[in-house]
Amino acid sequence: MQAFDFVSAQSVDEVVAALAAGGERARPLSGGTDLLAQMKEGRRSYATVVDLKRIPELMEVRVGADGLWLGASVPCHIVNNNADIQKMYPALHDSTGLIGGTQIQGRASLGGNLCNASPAADGIPILIVHSATAHIAGPNGTRTLPADEFCVAPGRNALQNGEILVALQLPAPAKNFGAAYLRFIPRNEMDIAVVGVGVSVVLSDDGQTIQSARVSLGAVAPTPLYVKAAGDALAGQPVSEETFEKAAQIAREAAKPISDMRGTIAQRKHLSGVLTKRALRIAIDRARGTTTVDSLGRLNGNG
Amino acid sequence: MAKKVMVQSVINGDDTAFLCETRQTLLEVLRDELGMTGTKEGCGNGNCGACNVMLDGVLVNSCLVLAVEAEGRTVTTIEGIAPADGLHPLQQKFLEHAALQCGICTPGFIISSKALLEHNPNPSEHDVRLWLAGNLCRCTGYDKIVRAVLDVASAN
Q: What is the pLDDT of residue A303?
A: 28
Is the minimum CB–CB distance between B22 and chain A shorter than 8 Å?
yes
Indicate whether A200 and A116 sit together in one domain: no
Residue A297 domain-assigned (yes or no): no
Q: What is the pLDDT of residue B115?
A: 98
CATH number for the domain including A14? Answer: 3.30.43.10
Tell me: pLDDT of A31 over 90.
yes
Q: What is the pLDDT of residue A290?
A: 84
Q: Which domain holds residue A25?
A: 5-51
Contact by Cβ (8 Å): B72, B9: yes
> What SS3 class is residue A198?
strand
Q: What is the pLDDT of residue A302?
A: 32
Is the minimum CB–CB distance between A43 and chain B shorter than 8 Å?
no
Q: Where are the domains of chain B?
A: 4-79, 89-154
Tell me: pLDDT of A294 over 80.
no
Tell me: pLDDT of A300 over 60.
no
Residue A295 domain-assigned (yes or no): no
- How does pLDDT run across A124-153, given as a tens digit for each residue? 999 999 999 999 999 999 999 999 999 999
Indicate whether A164 and A181 sit together in one domain: no
**Which of A1, A39, A101 has its CB closest to that of B133?**
A101
Find the helix packing angle between B106-119 and B143-154, rounded to 10°: 40
Pick among B5, B69, B109, B119 to test the A interface (most A CBs inside 10 A): B69
Residue A293 domain-assigned (yes or no): no
ipTM: 0.96
Indicate whether A82 and A143 sit together in one domain: yes
Indicate whether A29 and A83 sit together in one domain: no
Indicate whether A202 and A104 sit together in one domain: no
**Topology, domain B4-79:** Ubiquitin-like (UB roll) (3.10.20)
**B59 neighbourhood in chain A, CB within 8 Å:** 102-103, 106
Q: What is the pLDDT of residue A260?
A: 95
The total number of residues shown for chain A amounts to: 303
Rounded to whole angstroms, the Cα distance separating A183 from A195 reads 6
Beta-carbon contacts of residue A100 (< 8 Å; ≥ 6 apart): A33, A108, A190, B46, B134
- How does pLDDT run across B78-96, given as a tens digit for each residue? 999 999 999 999 999 999 9
Q: Distance from B145 to chain A by nearest Cα, in Å?
A: 17
Beta-carbon contacts of residue A169 (< 8 Å; ≥ 6 apart): A67, A68, A69, A70, A132, A133, A135, A144
Residue A296 domain-assigned (yes or no): no
Residue A301 domain-assigned (yes or no): no
Give chain A's domain count.
3
Contact by Cβ (8 Å): A120, A193: yes
Pick among B19, B47, B66, B71 to test the A interface (most A CBs inside 10 A): B66
Residue A38 domain-assigned (yes or no): yes
Indicate whether A196 and A150 sit together in one domain: no
Q: Distance from A44 to chain B by nearest Cα, in Å?
A: 13
Indicate whether A62 and A163 sit together in one domain: yes
Strands B52-55 and B58-61, sheet pairing: antiparallel
Mean pLDDT across A222-240: 98
Beta-carbon contacts of residue B156 (< 8 Å; ≥ 6 apart): B117, B121, B122
Interface of A with B in 220-279 (CB under 8 A): none
Subunit contact A103:B61, Cβ cutoff 8 A: yes
Indicate whether A104 and A67 sit together in one domain: yes
* Summary mean pLDDT of chain B: 97
- How does pLDDT run across B126-138, given as a tens digit for each residue? 999 999 999 999 9
* Summary mean pLDDT of chain A: 95
Decide which of 1.10.150.120, 3.40.50.970, 3.40.50.720, 3.30.1540.20 is the CATH code for B89-154. Answer: 1.10.150.120
Counted across chains A and B, CB pairs separated by less than 8 A come out at: 91
CATH number for the domain including A74? Answer: 3.30.465.10
Q: What is the pLDDT of residue B36?
A: 98
Q: Distance from B92 to chain A by nearest Cα, in Å?
A: 23
- How does pLDDT run across A171-202, given as a tens digit for each residue? 999 999 999 999 999 988 889 999 999 999 99
